[in-house]
Amino acid sequence: MSVIVCLFTALSLLFGGGDVTAGIVVRQCEDWRYIVDRFTEEYDLDADLVLAVMAKESNCENLKSSQDGLSVGLMQIVPRSWTMTKAYLENPVWNIWQGMRFMSVIYSSEQNDGTWRTALAAYNCGWTSLNDGKCHAGGGYAYADRILGYWFPLMRASRMGAVERLWFMWGRHGYTPYRFTQYAAQQQGRPQTGR
């Protein structure tokens, strides 16, 4: 039985962190990487971070609209924010371009403390709401933490080979190759090699 549990754990770490839905979303996001890569140098953004925002905002579904109908597309841009039409933002290239432009402007803002956590919180609910503590439930810093702690590592891991991904995912949970071999030696009753 323990062999089955270990095998399931290893497979879940390799293919989406144990969340089947997340694995599907990551694969959908990879379909948009070629567009993101076109603008990463222009806006000095990490492509995996942009894809992580897309995963959180729209599950990387192109024609998705928010529940209130205000936000549009992959990056969930509000047309009135940038004086654009909904039809314009339904084009995935323009939506990604505007979303990346928006991320860059927010990160470069004097209001930002120089961290992506604060910039992503402002991307989600705006500087005024963030500074006044009026972000909606699950928004603001909770939104930023979900991207930086869950989606961004999944995007980064999606481009790695199976062995690299396994080490990366274990590293996210505090395991290092040394700590893993130390643990394995303890389980097999062998003395640990010193370090």
String of DSSP letters for 63-97: T-B-TTS--BTTTTB-GGGTT--HHHHTSHHHHHH
- CA–CA gap between residue 102 and residue 99 (Å, rounded): 5
Query: What integer pLDDT is reported at residue 14 of this predicted model?
Result: 47
Per-residue pLDDT tens, the chain, 195 aa: give them.
444 433 444 444 444 444 556 777 888 888 999 999 999 999 999 999 999 999 999 888 887 776 666 788 889 888 776 667 777 888 899 999 999 999 999 999 999 998 999 999 999 999 999 999 898 888 899 999 999 888 888 787 777 665 565 555 555 545 444 444 454 445 444 444 444
On whether residue 193 sits in a domain, the answer given is no
Instruction: Please state, in angstroms and rounded to a whole number, the distance separating the CA atoms of residues 116 and 135.
Output: 17
Distance CA 60, CA 64 (A): 8
Q: 57, 74 in Cβ contact below 8 A?
A: yes
Is 83 within the bounds of a domain? yes
Q: Would you report the helix, strand and coil content of the chain in percent, each value rounded to 5?
A: 65, 0, 35
Judge whether 39 and 100 are in contact, CB under 8 Å.
Answer: yes
Residue 89 falls inside a structural domain: yes
User: In terms of Cα–Cα distance, which of 164, 151, 184 is closest to 47?
Assistant: 151
Residue 17 in any domain: the answer is: yes
Q: What confidence score (pLDDT) does residue 63 get?
A: 77
Would residue 194 count as lying in a domain? no
Report which of 106, 110, 74, 101 is spatially closest to residue 89, judged by C-alpha positions: 74
Domains held by the chain: number:
1
Q: Where does residue 141 fall: left (phi above 0), alpha (psi -120 to 50 degrees), or beta otherwise? A: alpha
Say if 81 falls within a structural domain.
yes
In a domain, 195, yes or no: no
Residue labelled with tokens 């897309």? 54
- Structure token pair of residue 153: 């590592």
Please check whether residue 51 lies inside any domain of the structure: yes
Q: How many CA atoms lie within 13 A of 153 on its CB side?
A: 21
Structure token digits, residue 168: 């990366």
CATH assignment at residue 181: 1.10.530
Q: Give the structural domain span for 87.
A: 2-187
The percentage of the chain sitting over the pLDDT mark of 70, rounded to a whole number, equals 67
Is residue 49 within a helix (H) or strand (E), and if so which, with residue range?
A: helix 47-58
Q: What is the pLDDT of residue 166?
A: 58
